[in-house]
Structures are given as C-alpha cells and as structure tokens.
Structure 1
Amino acid sequence: MTTSPAPLRDPAPMLARTMAEWGGQQDLWVFGYGSLIWRPEFPFVERHPARVHGWHRALKMWSRVNRGTPECPGLVLALLPGGSCQGMAFRIDRAQVARILPPLWQREMVLGVYDPRWLPCRITASGATQGTVRALAFTLSRRSPSHTGELTEAQYRHIFAQARGIYGSTHDYARATYDELRRLGIHDRALGRLLAYAAADGAAQ
C-alpha cells in the first residue's frame, strides 16, 4: 500500500512569513517557470513574459506524489541557483491575495520542499522591457533531500517511462511545460534534450 510522504517542513508558518513579507500594501507578483505557466489555477490581473537572473529551471526535484510515488519517484521542475530563467510573471490583485495564496500554497508547498523567495523579475511586453517587479518564486536548495543531484541519461529514460503520480506522468508534465514554453517563444534547450531521451526509446508512447 502506497503512503504519502511526510512534509519536510510545516508549510503553515512559511505561508504566514510570506504573507508578512508581502505586507498587503500592493498587488502580489508570482513568477511561474513550470506548470504554473500552463496551469496556473488562480485568477490574475495580468501576466507577462519575464526573466529572473541568478536562477535556472531544471528537472531535478523528486516528486513522490504529483508525478511519481515513494516506490517510483518522478520529477518536477525546480528553480536552482545559477544562470537565468525565462518564465511568466502573474499579477494578483492585492484584495484577492488572502483568498488565492493559501490554495496556491497547498499546491506548491504541501510537503514544504520549496524555499519561497522574493526575486527581482524583469517584465517584458511587446518585446520591450517594461521594468522590474518583486515576485514570489518557489526555489529549491541543492542541499534539499528532494534535489536529485546529477542524473544519468539512463535514469531519465527510466523515470520518463515509469514514473506516474496523482496528476499523471513525469513525461507528460515535462512535455506540457516544454510545449507551452515553445508556444511562448521560450526555448529551453536543456529540457528539450531530456525529452529527446524519451522520444528515442519510445517512452513518450
């Protein structure tokens, strides 16, 4: 019988701290780099292509519930230190934050794995930089037990072929993210290279 893993940290005080850091005086920006781009599941006032520096998107976080199981862990994307990352910035009306952030927390922080951070986020619209906003982003420490470290091609192939959780397979998650990034004009070569492993051995079928 499969049992859900226990949270690494209690997410409730982390939510309270984030709400206090936000302060409630202005709208809240959220930086999305993975499934939030194609399945945000919260109302927003606007969204724009955006980039953060000093962090990059990587398929290097173990998922033992959403895209895998404790017996066959899957993978989800994380924001790791180094480089830069193109994604989407979502603006949430400040009057709606108290209603919207707890369900978002339940989705992203149910196991207390991510480190929520406020990152400078450069917004673009119509191809031009519009300015920088302070956005909430869900990052991952390389010291976290949920960080995979370096995985081999064979390991990625196995995970793409076998790992499936309550929201579907790791492969479907990675493919949906990659396709939406391409639709938005964002080319993530590293993610595309990993998906090519699955296509090569038929794991995509």
Structure 2
Amino acid sequence: MDEFWVFGYGSLMWNPGFEFLERAEARVHGYRRSLCVRSFVHRGTRDNPGLVLGLDRGGACRGMAFRISPEKWDEVIDYLRARELVTNVYLERRVRLQFVGGRRVEAVSYIVDRDHEQYAGSLDAVEAAQVVNVAKGQSGPNDAYVFNTLAHLKQMGIRDHWLEQVAGEVERLRAA
C-alpha cells in the first residue's frame, strides 16, 4: 500500500483525533450516511435507544478523506479501532473514494454491520425523527447530536438532504 487514507462521514470529519498530512472532500459510492445505529449509551439507553450515524449500503456519501503519513499508519489504525469498534456495530472496510477532479483512492472506513443488534435498518425521516426527538443518553439529547452534525456539515459545505429532513421533522414534532 503506497498511501493510507481514512474516510470520515460523521464526527471523524471535524474531530479526527489523529495527525494527518492531507484532508480533502471525497465521495464514496455504494454507501450513504444514515441514522441507522441504535445508541444505548451516548444518545439513548437500552430501554429508549437513540440513533447515531452509520455508513449503510446504497447511494453515495460526501465526507472527508485524510491521508496519513507512513510512520503513523499503525498508530492511527489502532486509534480508529479503539474509537469505532467499541461495540463492533461497525465493520472496518476498504472503500473506493473519488475526489473532486476525479482522482480515486482506497481508504479505510467503518461500515455498519447489518447483522448487529444495534442496526436499526433503513428508517424514513419521520421514523428517525420520532426516535431522535425523545432519546437521551450520557452524551446528551439525541436531537442535539443531529443538529450538531448538520451544523458541522454546513460549515464544510456538505449537504445531506435526508438528515436535513430528519431535523425538519424533529422541529415539526417540537412545534406540535
């Protein structure tokens, strides 16, 4: 492997937690950003799970790619595994990224395991909003997670129409 890239689609985009040589917007095809992971701790409880992001099959996802220096490869992969594989709801996979301009590279990313108990499946925006609106965990309310994610995506110039719909439905529920 000549280069080591990491693809982030959620908090990793604005809070990677590791050193990198280069950061660039990239797109992965065949996967989409989705609130498809039940959160039993940080944004919900086992009795009232919240929803957090996963990279699920279908569509495409804009995110951030990070190029790691060769001397940091082991350190970064160890860090990512400790961060992302706590409950094993994600699978470490190599994905093909495309940068603006067409350049393509392989990157490590974390894809939701559809066989894991925390996989919530494909929810529509209304279903996701109903969960997000009432769930709360150790890291705070689930809706704060969604609104914070959208704010960061907006700062990066990345639109996620589905997540925006979820937020809109949460606001509608609050107003009702």
Does the CA-based 8 Å contact 1:140-1:147 persist in structure 2?
A: yes
1:157-168 alignment runs, 5 A limit: 157-168=129-140
TM-score using structure 1 length: 0.77
Kept after mapping to 2: 8 A contact 1:38/1:176: no
- AA aligned opposite 2:105: V
SS in 1 for 2:64: strand
SS of the equivalent of 2:82 reads helix
Are residues 155 and 82 of structure 1, via their aligned partners in 2, closer, same or farther at CA, if it must alter by over 3 Å?
A: closer
For residue 67 of structure 2, the aligned residue among 79, 91, 94 is 91
CA RMSD of aligned residues (A): 2.0
Tell me the CA shift for residue 121 of structure 1.
0.6
Give the structure 2 partner of residue 7 of structure 1: none
Cα distance in structure 2, aligned partners of 1:202 and 1:169: 14
Alignment check: 8 A CA contact 1:69 1:164 kept: yes
- The alpha-carbon deviation at position 153 of structure 1 amounts to 5.8
Range moving further from structure 2, 76-85 or 92-101: 92-101
Per the TM alignment, residue 115 of structure 1 is displaced from its structure 2 partner at its CA by 1.2
SS at the partner of 1:147?
coil
Q: Which residue of 2 aligns with 1:190?
A: 162
Q: Cα deviations across residues 48-107 of structure 1 (Å, max 9, x unaligned)?
A: 000011111111111112222212211111111111111110111121122222222111
Q: 1:139 aligns with which of 111, 125, 149?
A: 111
2:45 corresponds to which of 69, 76, 79: 69
How much has 1:152 moved relative to structure 2?
6.1
Please, which moves more after superposition, 77-86 or 136-145? 136-145
Task: Give me the whole-angstrom Cα distance separating, in 2, the residues matched to 1:197 and 1:102.
Answer: 38
1: CA distance, partners of 2:29 / 2:125: 27
Measured after TM superposition, the shift of residue 29 of structure 1 is 0.7
CA shift at 1:150, angstroms? 4.1
Q: 2:17 is matched by which residue type in structure 1? A: E
Distance (Å, rounded) in 2 between the aligned partners of 1:69 and 1:104: 24
Work out whether residues 35 and 173 of structure 1, in 8 Å CA contact, stay in contact via their aligned partners in 2. no
After superposition, residues 75-154 of structure 1 pair within 5 angstroms as: 75-124=51-100, 128-129=101-102, 131-151=103-123
- The answer as to whether partners of 2:89 and 2:119 remain within 8 angstroms in 1 is no
Query: How many residues are paired up?
Result: 175
C-alpha distance in 1, partners of 2:116/2:45?
18
In the TM superposition, residue 197 of structure 1 has moved relative to its aligned partner by 1.3
The two structures have a TM-score, normalised by structure 2, of 0.88
* Structure 1: runs of 5 or more not aligned: 1-24
Distance between the aligned counterparts of 2:126 and 2:29, measured in 1?
31
